[in-house]
């Protein structure tokens, strides 16, 4: 299952503007075919640093997401308001809850 993380640090005085732009895009990302989840996190210590994560059914859905106008708008906002952008793309090997986490202890 493909997954990506987009880490964005925006200019310190632009974080509220970035959040406003991101809010409407987030709802649109969740409506995309093949999008399992889309989450946004804000750093506790550095309030202008964000981490966006998207999980998709398959690689075709992820690639389609990257070609959407909304993803282009997100990157444009990051480029205009941001200091740095880092994209990480990977595959999820396992998912689970407490039992999965517990099974990893002592391995």
Reading the block at residue 50, the tokens are 């964000």
If one counts every other C-beta atom within 10 angstroms of the C-beta of residue 5, the result is 15
Q: Is the pLDDT at 9 greater than 90, yes or no? A: yes
pLDDT tens for 12-21 read 899 999 998 8
The Cα angle at residue 50 between residues 66 and 9, in degrees rounded to 5 = 95
Whole-prediction pTM value? 0.86
If one counts every other C-beta atom within 10 angstroms of the C-beta of residue 27, the result is 10
Q: Is the pLDDT at 106 greater than 80, yes or no? A: no
CATH class of 2-104: alpha beta
| Residue 24 binned pLDDT confidence (cut-offs 50, 70, 90) | confident
């Amino acid at each position: 299952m493909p997954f990506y993380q987009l880490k964005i640090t925006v200019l310190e005085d632009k974080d509220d503007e970035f959040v406003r732009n991101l809010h409407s895009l987030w709802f649109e990302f969740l409506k995309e075919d093949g999008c399992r989840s889309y989450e946004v996190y804000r750093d506790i210590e550095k309030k202008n640093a964000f981490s966006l994560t998207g999980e998709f059914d398959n690689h075709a859905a992820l690639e389609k997401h990257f070609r959407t106008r909304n993803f282009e708008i997100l990157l444009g906002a990051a480029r205009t308001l941001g200091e740095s952008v880092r994209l990480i793309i990977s595959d999820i090997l396992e998912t689970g809850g407490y039992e999965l986490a517990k099974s990893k202890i002592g391995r």
